[in-house]
Structure 1
Amino acid sequence: MEFGAGTGKLAAGLLNALATLDAAFETYSIVELSGELRERQRETIEAQAPALANRVRWLDALPEHFEGVVVGNEVLDAMPVRLFVRADHGADAVAHDSRESAPALIGHTINGHTLNDHGTHGAAWYERGVTVAADGRFTFADRPLASPADAALLAGIDADGGYVAETHEAALAFTRTVCSMLTRGAAFFIDYGFPRHEYYHAQRAQGTLMCHYRHRAHGDPFLYPGLTDITAHVEFTGIAEAGVEAGADLLGYTSQARFLMNAGITDALAEIDPQDIEHFLPAANAVQKLLSEAEMGELFKVIAFSRGISETLTAFSRGDRSHTL
């Protein structure tokens, strides 16, 4: 079962790999709500993996139970995040509707957690929401914290005024749902991100929220609403905790480069004759992009969960970073 199948290229590649390995499987399910993307995926699979196209089915929702392998490639980064900013009291970062109410909650506590503690530096955490400005445009509107859970998480971040951070409730809930659905098998998530202690590092002061429009990156989530692709890096410690809380076992966590090398990507490349320039060069370039620290090899991580199986995976045999989560 795959989430976020996009054009269907990964699905076609996995289907062909399963055929090459003579790995038996009943169905390849794709969870996809977009009719347009379904058609694009169908066309890609029929063109690139025609012999197995009849094994593919599309789902509108998750099944109650699933036995098999779950794959999510760049799914978690696309889920909604909440933004928080540490700002000086009364600073311009606190917008119209929240500026006057902020002082009333300074030092207020719920279950022992201080919601807005300005401390000695005169800065406090605010949740960064969205409002509509007088000219009709979307703009940020910061408001006081209202949740002790938010306060507890943010209290652990060593940050000065102006620090922006994200939390990932939607991705955590999705991980719990998938791991609860899994009765026997494994779930793999491939995405860019960091463990919590790196994610909320003091030097990562502007957060990780990034926008893309027509293959160009920018930092304004209000530019071209509905057309801009908005993403944020994944905080993998929370993802690991969510999966384990749902009853799954953490199978492993490592860099994409280490995962692919353990799984034999260089051996697969070696099977192509270097003299066959037409096939070898594109494959070598693709492997370089997937493994290089300057490309995708280090920034992208692979985290996996399992349930009902005792086996370990060769892909996590070396360089497993689960201890860093």
Structure 2
Amino acid sequence: MARGGINKAVVQKARTAILARGEHPSIDAVRIELGNTGSKTTIHRYLKELDAAEQGQGGAVFTLSEQLSHLVGQLADQLQDEAQAAVAGEREQLARERQGYLAQVREAESRIQQLEGHTTSLAEQLQALQAAQQEAQQLRQQTEVENARLLQANRDLEARVQDRDEQIRSLENKHQHAREALEHYRQASKEQREQEQRRHETQTQQLQLELRQLRQTLIVKQDELTQLNRDNARLHTEARQHQKEQHSQQRLLEQKSQELAALQSQLSTEKTANMLLEQRHQDLQKKLKSVNRSKARQQAAATPVHRNE
């Protein structure tokens, strides 16, 4: 169906005007005469009908050279239409391929950005693990220092307990000596014995009171020593737990380092693939330029030669 009001009469009028100027009425010439309107297929169909009508009405009207020139013009128009259709198809195919490669390039760039973000996240995790490891090492050092302090305190308490034991033995010796002195005084004089007995009983009560106080102090110190031993055992357990956690953090750090190395290798592979896609894109650009030059040569070769008879 003709576009823009093109019909057979309009095409015939344009063809007649071109022939009146002594030019060949090709499809492009007729279309230019019509103001660059109308479908080339429709113009070609109307021109064939007009040519067939003229050949049927008077076969001897045109000379042989005119008929050959007309036939050559038709063939040139047909070749030009076929070449343009082939170039348009190839151009459309190249455009589709280019869009596909551009989509692949964009996908590769997106993948690279994701890998870079993942690498940044892993680097941050690695820094956090290193900071946690340093903190664990500092805590272990503090634990070792505290353990050493508690051990020293334990040794100090043991020395103090030994001093208390010595004091108790000394008091017991003094008590024994007091009893011997009391017995001596009893033998010397009953009255003096009674006096000494009262004094001795007073001293004994005082000594017993002091002894009970010392024993209570000893019990308290023994309880403190027991608590310190328990704290020491607890600190040893916590130190072993910290060491286990440090070993676990170290293994996790090594695992993350291996994962980071694998991701870096994958990133290198993606960059290589991206470079190959870019090279393929450049090759397609060169191929497109070559097709355009070939199309230009075909158009130049398909341009009809106008002759004035």
Q: Structures share a fold, TM > 0.5? A: no
Q: Identify the structure with the greater strand proportion.
A: 1
What TM-score does the superposition give when structure 2 sets the normalisation length? 0.21
Higher RCO (CA-CA < 8 Å; seq separation 6+): 2
Which protein is bigger by CA-based radius of gyration? 2
What TM-score does the superposition give when structure 1 sets the normalisation length? 0.20
Q: Identify the structure with the greater helix proportion.
A: 2
